[in-house]
Structure 1
Amino acid sequence: MRKQGVYKERCMPTRNIRGLIFSLVYVMLGLLIFANCYNGWTEKQSYTYHVEAVNYEYEKISCSEEKSFYINVVSTNTKMISLNGCDFGDLGKIKLFLKKEDSGSIFSLDNVCSEGEIVNISVEDYRLSKGRYLLTIINDSESDVLVSIDEDNTLNNSQIIEFGYKDEAVLFTLMGWCIIALVGGLCYFLLKKREESFLILSIIVGLVFIIIIPPYTAPDELRHFARAYDISEGNIVCTNYYSSDEYDGQLFPVCDLPDELFRLKLLSEQNAIYYANETNSKIAIDAYLNEFTNFFSGKQNKTPIFGDYTTSAIAFLPQAMGIICGEVLRCNPIIVFYMSRVFNMVIASILAYLGFKIIPKYKKIYMAVYFCPSIVFLRSTDSTDGFFLSIIMLFVAYALAISVNQVELRKRDYFCLSILAAIIGLIKLPYLLILLIIFFIPKDYFCFGRRGNAHGHGRIIYFIVSFTVALLIYKISHNLLDNNPFASAPGAASSTEISMSHVSYIANNTVKFLVMYCSECIIALPNYISQSITFPTFEYITIPFIVYVMLLAREAEDCEEKPLTKNVLIGTAVFMWMAIVGAFYFVGTPQLGYIWGIQGRYLHPIEFLTIIALAKKTQNTIELRDVEMLSLIFIGVYYFEIIKYYWI
């Protein structure tokens, strides 16, 4: 035995050597992908920016008539303005003049051509400044001219903009990646306590991703932010309802969101103002940078918050705190938005840190899961999912700590577990089934009265009481928040309610329902797992990360649960997944023929429990700090993919 120990000691790499190896891998992979980003930035010559209005109407300019319309120029690098949905007829007899709204300079536009219903106007020689312009059209032809305008008399137009930030973009891209590398290296080599390292890395990585992830890119982020803003204004219960033609005249809950915050959803190169189009994609950099010079005008936009107005305000408290802080400091709109993200990320990180600190085992799995690329993405946005997952992981860590410490539950343990469970149920009811994991805590630990007076059925009694109380709290909260019986939600998005129409559909179409349900639970599961690893999905990161986490569970942990505990964890995960799929059936209308709205992010708590259940005790040499570096390698690669996806 002694010889084996000496052999292992001599052959095992030292911590510093392993750290240097991990750092080298991080640098090599990063530089390889950075080269691709560099080429993307340097080859990007121009881009097209277009924002649709809710409604466009044709405006006629008769023979010998003159009319003026607005155009908002977003960049000093605008090369061409394209008027969409036009009919100019004899283009040679139509005169165009451009004048800035607040100046006397008038430009005669001569370089004009048409392609079908699009009229292209070259403005490269004029070096237009940013701002609002009046385009005057004089019709000297013998036929009418048609242009497409919105309700503000602004022309339906697209702008081709020269990309003028190549050097800055390359430097910015490299700087964010280096910050993650530097902080990761310092934590690896200098910090002794991995709990401190966990918190520092979570916050620093979160801050970097807050910057590189554009506004309103996470699922439902616009509605989550709008609901948080409503709460920051003191509207815990929504009392504002609105009817819109966009949703066939249905009445739905809205928040009076400042127009400057709503319009952060219009930063994509190709986007629409429609409520249903909530997320940005490829960002128009000039439009994005312009937001840093905007200030609140007092104009409000009625932003729908269906699906979120019945969710407890607890889920939105971190964002609301950030909004209040930003407004107290008199920040401009986009900074207020980022303040809400920062508060959301920091509070989520602190909750996860508390769980990481008290969890007695599986710290490697805990860290790997929490630094999963998609989880890093979600907690760096205004989505409630990062905050919610942190609460669930804290609950699991607390239960494991009680189980391992081999002491009966104290009053504060009952209280803390019950409070955490109630919060989980208030935010997303199906996850209340997480309470099932208390069954891996030995029943002798559930004592009532004096020390040592364990109750034979104490565990079951506690589960029933806690579950029932949490359900009652949810029901009371839901009834208070859902205060308008005439409100409905657009399309298939509604609150989870068991209606007779759903029950009737199941009774009359039992086989069809079972096929649909099993298809979502089993057949579609691999696709949801893939979605849960990276958002947006990058397959070349997803598959290696799954292999990494599974190898970590099977080969790197130094503990293993008893069969009963494994069964409880797996059973809880299965029941939660079945409940989630079932809940989403009731979200949609029965006639849809499929279960609507499930996404990979709903699997995160389930995956956490499953990976713990699969852990196998091994004689390993990998340290917790090594898991940090391995996770950062994935995050470093993911960082560049986010840059390419949204910015290049």
Structure 2
Amino acid sequence: MYLAVLAPLSAPDEVSHFITAYRLANTIMGQPAADENGHVYIRTQDAFVLDTDLAPGESLAAQEESKDTQVLGQTLTEHTYRKIHDTGLWGTGEEEMETTVKPPVETTPLAYLPQALGIVLGRLLGFGGLGLLYLGRFGNLLFFTAASWYAMKRLPFGKEVLFGVALLPMTLHLAASFSYDAIILCLSFVFTAVTLQLTYGAGDVRKRDVALMAAVMGVLGPCKMIYGVLLGLCLLVPVKKFGNRRNWVLSAAAVLGVYAAAMILVNSQTIVQYAAETESFVGWAGESGYTFEWVVHNPIKTLRIFYNTLLEKGDYYHLTMMGNWLGNLDQVLDVPYLLILAMTFVLFFLAMKKPGGETVYLTGSRRAWTLFLCAACAGAAMLSMFIAWTPASSKIVMGVQGRYFLPILPVFLMALKNNWIVLTKNRDRELLYFLVCVNGYVLLRLFSIVSIRI
């Protein structure tokens, strides 16, 4: 339902994700992906999604360079729904190609494979631009659903917690979009589930478990480097589960090696650039920014800025993580704060110990290590945006959004379970049903807002 109510290209940065998936679809179909300037080829009949003033089949030509085009779904209004209704899913039958200056995301193409396959299927079936958008989104949603189901299947405990996080409005909005955040989320869930099962399960670590963890990190790492911190979860697995220390070392080397190789292949230039630069320029602010060198030489000032950021932006991170503003963080497309607060308590109750519930959970040093990793991942998210997005005149970190914390939210909640807070009744089923009902209300609310928004 989020796929339909929140129109295509309405999610954060979804235009760039769509262009990236389109580029991969071109490659899969054996066609030129982009021109010599890196501009991605799209079908002329699909250009109207990047400029709603066009009709299907009209050329984008130099429109993007001469004006700011109105991309479908960037601001959801009644006109968006009308455009979708009037255009329909089917194409014009023409296969003429042209380029767009909308930039793709430079990361591993594997993060866009489900979306690209949806686009390929749509082109083979004769769909138009809207058909490609919906099939690409559906491919992403299908992969997210399958991977999240697999993660819940493998979890030794905390299945209801993961299910609850998967039912948050922001999670569902991202899952039903072109965003690679859907891939990041579900692969983070899978990696967490596998490491916890290997830690608390009865069996030993198998070669296919190591291969799975390596493959997941090989895709997850290049998307957003900060989630490499999740590799620390591997240290929860007892050495005896590997048979001997030699097997443990080889397994660790395999997972870390694949992650490092993927980072070198995809992000080496970015890493070198940020590590070596002595000056930076923040384009959106039109002024200089912070550098890694500055952070190294000013650790106390950096920590003070991070602390001030948490004080000023903590509520914003919470709200945008849960889904208080949907669409392209459109404050008109809001979810009432009372519901955000209720969903927060629901997640907390799902994580707590209860009668007839699971008796195995993170304790002692394992709990402490998990909480440390969560804090480190959050810190890495802030550090990355501090260097890449924050102007030197700002006294807080700019650019961090709550959705960046969703991949670590399930394991963070699992680490909160303890013997001090115990619920008197197990209401997990009712709590999850409440989340479903909240989503139903949110969808009706958003649809009504967009329908009367001019």
TM range (shorter): 0.7 to 0.9
Aligned 1:462-501 pairs, distance under 5 A: 462-463=251-252, 466-478=255-267, 491-492=283-284
Which residue is 2:141 aligned to?
345
Structure holding more helix per residue: 2
> How has the CA–CA distance of structure 1 residues 286 and 417 changed in structure 2, closer, same or farther, with 3 Å as cutoff?
closer
Which residue is 1:287 aligned to?
83
Q: Tell me, what secondary structure is at the counterpart of 1:300?
A: strand
**What amino acid is the match of 1:232?**
A
> How has the CA–CA distance of structure 1 residues 510 and 631 changed in structure 2, closer, same or farther, with 3 Å as cutoff?
closer
Q: Distance in 1 between matches of 2:17 and 2:34?
A: 17
Q: Which ranges of structure 2 fall in alignment gaps of 5 or more residues?
A: 54-63, 272-279, 327-333
- For the pair 1:360 / 2:156, whether they are aligned, the reply is yes
Which residue is 1:274 aligned to?
68
Contact 2:385 2:400 in 1 (8 A): yes
> How has the CA–CA distance of structure 1 residues 551 and 332 changed in structure 2, closer, same or farther, with 3 Å as cutoff?
same
Which residue is 1:218 aligned to?
11
Q: CA deviation at 1:635?
A: 1.1
Q: Distance in 2 between matches of 1:528 and 1:631?
A: 20
Which residue is 2:358 aligned to?
558
Q: Which ranges of structure 1 fall in alignment gaps of 5 or more residues?
A: 1-207, 243-252, 448-453, 483-487, 494-498
Q: Distance in 1 between matches of 2:424 and 2:39?
A: 54
**What amino acid is the match of 2:183?**
F
1:544 to 335, 338, 342: 342
Q: CA deviation at 1:227?
A: 0.4
Q: Distance in 2 between matches of 1:304 and 1:404?
A: 47
Aligned 1:451-530 pairs, distance under 5 A: 454-455=244-245, 462-463=251-252, 466-478=255-267, 491-492=283-284, 502-506=291-295, 512-521=301-310, 523-530=312-319
> How has the CA–CA distance of structure 1 residues 221 and 440 changed in structure 2, closer, same or farther, with 3 Å as cutoff?
same
Q: Distance in 2 between matches of 1:378 and 1:604?
A: 11
Q: CA deviation at 1:320?
A: 0.1
- For the pair 1:568 / 2:369, whether they are aligned, the reply is yes
Q: CA deviation at 1:467?
A: 2.6
Contact 2:166 2:172 in 1 (8 A): yes
Q: CA deviation at 1:375?
A: 0.5
Contact 1:323 1:336 in 2 (8 A): yes
Which residue is 1:37 aligned to?
none
Q: Distance in 2 between matches of 1:400 and 1:508?
A: 38
Q: CA deviation at 1:230?
A: 0.6
> How has the CA–CA distance of structure 1 residues 489 and 647 changed in structure 2, closer, same or farther, with 3 Å as cutoff?
farther
Q: Tell me, what secondary structure is at the counterpart of 1:233?
A: helix
Q: CA deviation at 1:473?
A: 2.0
Select the structure of larger CA radius of gyration. Answer: 1
> How has the CA–CA distance of structure 1 residues 569 and 589 changed in structure 2, closer, same or farther, with 3 Å as cutoff?
closer
Q: Distance in 1 between matches of 2:268 and 2:69?
A: 26
Q: Tell me, what secondary structure is at the counterpart of 2:39?
A: strand
Which residue is 2:435 aligned to?
631
Q: CA deviation at 1:490?
A: 8.9
Please, which moves more after superposition, 463-472 or 438-447? 463-472
Please, which moves more after superposition, 341-350 or 583-592? 583-592
Q: Alpha-carbon deviations, 1:286-340, whole Å to 9, x = none?
A: 333222176365363413225x12x100111110000000000011221111010
Aligned 1:98-497 pairs, distance under 5 A: 208-234=1-27, 240=35, 242=37, 253-265=38-50, 274=68, 279-284=74-79, 285-292=81-88, 295=92, 298=96, 300-305=98-103, 308-309=105-106, 311-447=107-243, 454-455=244-245, 462-463=251-252, 466-478=255-267, 491-492=283-284
Q: Tell me, what secondary structure is at the counterpart of 1:218?
A: coil
Q: CA deviation at 1:585?
A: 2.3
If the length of structure 2 is used for normalisation, what is the TM-score? 0.80
**What amino acid is the match of 2:152?**
F
Q: Distance in 2 between matches of 1:583 and 1:481?
A: 11
Structure holding more strand per residue: 1
Contact 1:364 1:627 in 2 (8 A): no
**What amino acid is the match of 1:360?**
P
Q: Distance in 1 between matches of 2:179 and 2:338?
A: 25
Q: Tell me, what secondary structure is at the counterpart of 1:257?
A: strand
Higher RCO (C-alpha 8 Å, min separation 6): 2
Which residue is 1:20 aligned to?
none
> How has the CA–CA distance of structure 1 residues 220 and 260 changed in structure 2, closer, same or farther, with 3 Å as cutoff?
farther
**What amino acid is the match of 1:290?**
D
Q: Distance in 2 between matches of 1:287 and 1:431?
A: 38
If the length of structure 1 is used for normalisation, what is the TM-score? 0.57
> What is the aligned-residue identity percentage?
17
Q: CA deviation at 1:402?
A: 1.4
Which residue is 2:59 aligned to?
none
Q: Distance in 1 between matches of 2:153 and 2:380?
A: 30
CA RMSD of aligned residues (A): 3.4
> How has the CA–CA distance of structure 1 residues 380 and 472 changed in structure 2, closer, same or farther, with 3 Å as cutoff?
same
Q: CA deviation at 1:276?
A: 9.6
Contact 1:521 1:581 in 2 (8 A): no
Q: CA deviation at 1:359?
A: 1.2
- For the pair 1:622 / 2:426, whether they are aligned, the reply is yes
Aligned 1:559-598 pairs, distance under 5 A: 559=359, 560-588=361-389, 591=392, 593=394, 594-598=396-400
Which residue is 1:613 aligned to?
415
> How has the CA–CA distance of structure 1 residues 490 and 254 changed in structure 2, closer, same or farther, with 3 Å as cutoff?
farther
**What amino acid is the match of 1:227?**
T
> How has the CA–CA distance of structure 1 residues 275 and 521 changed in structure 2, closer, same or farther, with 3 Å as cutoff?
farther
> How has the CA–CA distance of structure 1 residues 326 and 490 changed in structure 2, closer, same or farther, with 3 Å as cutoff?
farther
Which residue is 1:185 aligned to?
none
Q: Distance in 2 between matches of 1:619 and 1:510?
A: 42
Q: CA deviation at 1:435?
A: 1.1
Q: CA deviation at 1:228?
A: 0.2
Q: Tell me, what secondary structure is at the counterpart of 1:614?
A: coil
- For the pair 1:645 / 2:449, whether they are aligned, the reply is yes
> How has the CA–CA distance of structure 1 residues 417 and 230 changed in structure 2, closer, same or farther, with 3 Å as cutoff?
same
